[in-house]
Amino acid sequence: MGEHYFASRPGAASRLRTVDLVLPDLHLRLETDRGVFSPDRIDPGTRILLETVPAPPPAGALLDLGCGYGPIALTLARRAPEAQVYGVDVNERALELARRNATAAGLDTVRFALADEIAPELRFEAIWSNPPIRIGKAALHDLLLTWLPRLTPGGRAHLVVQKHLGSDTLQRWLNEQGFPTDRLASRSAYRVLAVAARPEPTRTGDDTA
Ligand SMILES: C[S@@+](CC[C@H](N)C(=O)[O-])C[C@H]1O[C@@H](n2cnc3c(N)ncnc32)[C@H](O)[C@@H]1O
């Protein structure tokens, strides 16, 4: 079996290639390599996410969680040029490709980084992700419980998940965790989930007593 795509330092010898991300509003040529997710084509789930999610908030901080070589983060940056876009990943080869792809696209302000390089107090207006389902349910839940609480009040996350990899179960679990979650789109075998920030607990009692 091949090496999984979420190794921090993939061992596979480099073999660079390019893929084209063509959407109605943009065209990006992206460099990819062995040892990263979907190196030979834009993943169909990623494409569906980028085709179905409404425009991101125009300003503030936006996050691509599990950015790979950068297709989602760079699309966010094109669609919201005033926003500060972040992409995080564990795969350093993917992060290096994403940085090079940002430079080639003239989108150098996008910050591609490991999770612990992002200031912990930073809050995101939107999180877009094709999440790493293959890391297993417990690790995925930990990952989502690390980042979703960092949505601003009123912020929204959009996640694309294959139905047979558990999109319905994930939707249910997110609701149980207090993140109101709806299915935004359903196309081929993919579901796009819209996840709202957890409502702030309402204050009760009288502080003046
Ligand atoms: C399904 S891929 C999506 C990649 C890219 N966004 C795309 O659309 O092509 C999920 C990504 O999550 C990354 N990943 C795995 N575990 C992670 C973690 N704990 N924190 C951040 N990213 C992680 C993987 O390395 C992989 O690049």
Q: What is the pLDDT along the chain (209 residues), one digit of tens a residue?
A: 456 788 888 888 999 999 999 999 999 999 999 999 999 999 999 999 999 999 999 999 999 999 999 999 999 999 999 999 999 999 999 999 999 999 999 999 999 999 999 999 999 999 999 999 999 999 999 999 999 999 999 999 999 999 999 999 999 999 999 999 999 999 999 999 999 999 987 776 555 43
Please indicate, yes or no, if residue 8 is contained in any of the structural domains.
no
Of all protein residues, the one whose alpha carbon is nearest to atom 4 of ligand 1 is 68
Of all protein residues, the one whose alpha carbon is nearest to atom 21 of ligand 1 is 89
Ligand 1 pocket: which of 47, 91, 116 to mutate (most atoms within 8 A of CB): 91
Containing structural domain, residue 49: 17-196
State which amino acid sits at residue 78. R
Please indicate, yes or no, if residue 179 is contained in any of the structural domains.
yes
Please indicate, yes or no, if residue 208 is contained in any of the structural domains.
no
Are 10 and 69 in contact by the 8 Å Cβ rule? The answer is no
Please indicate, yes or no, if residue 121 is contained in any of the structural domains.
yes
Please indicate, yes or no, if residue 11 is contained in any of the structural domains.
no
- Element at 184 (helix H, strand E): strand 181-187
Please indicate, yes or no, if residue 45 is contained in any of the structural domains.
yes
3-state percent breakdown (helix, strand, coil) of the chain, nearest 5? 30, 30, 40
CATH number of the structural domain spanning residue 108 = 3.40.50.150
Give the total number of structural domains in the chain. Answer: 1
Please indicate, yes or no, if residue 204 is contained in any of the structural domains.
no
